[in-house]
Amino acid sequence: MKTRKSSLIGLFAICILIINGCVTYYIPVLSFQEQLQGINESNLRTVEVRGPGGYVTEYKANPIETISCIDKNGNQFTIQNSPSIEVRFTDKNNKRTIFYFDRIYLRDTLIVGDVSRFLPGLKTLSINDIKLIEVQDGHKNFRYINRN
């Protein structure tokens, strides 16, 4: 009986962490443009990241340390940029595209980003077609080892 009760308490704690850990924040399109202003492929920096299973990978990431965003009530929040932060773009046709935040930059009016850690390949979206930008920590097991 004690074991079952402990298991239920543990499961409840995990559920609470999942619910609270996946809070979605929003970045107004103009704020997004301001935060990424001047960040392009020429000023990305090399980072080393330890992923799930302990493997280490190296890639170019934007130099943004913190992300300014708002919650659903309009309250300001700042999120620490990390390899597990995901940004979800919804365009005017309600199509959603998810990038890793540390892999995005601007090229004129295009948002350039990476949709996968395992199958690298940059994709572009027009900032002029974006109506909603959501950001959240996906709590995936990616951690910076070295961030030059």
Average pLDDT of span 71-95 = 95
Whether the CB-CB separation of 24 and 132 falls below 8 Å is answered with: no
> How many structural domains does the chain have?
1
Q: Tell whether 86 is covered by a domain.
A: yes
Q: Tell whether 16 is covered by a domain.
A: no
Q: Which range marks the domain in which residue 47 is found?
A: 24-147
Average pLDDT of span 113-132 = 88
| DSSP class of 41 | G
Q: Tell whether 15 is covered by a domain.
A: no
Q: Tell whether 107 is covered by a domain.
A: yes
Q: Tell whether 103 is covered by a domain.
A: yes
Strand blocks (E) in the chain: 25-26, 45-50, 56-61, 66-70, 76-80, 85-91, 96-100, 105-107, 110-114, 122-126, 130-137, 143-147
pTM of the model: 0.81
pLDDT at 128: 97
pLDDT at 24: 95
pLDDT at 119: 74
Q: Tell whether 130 is covered by a domain.
A: yes
Q: Tell whether 78 is covered by a domain.
A: yes
pLDDT at 3: 54
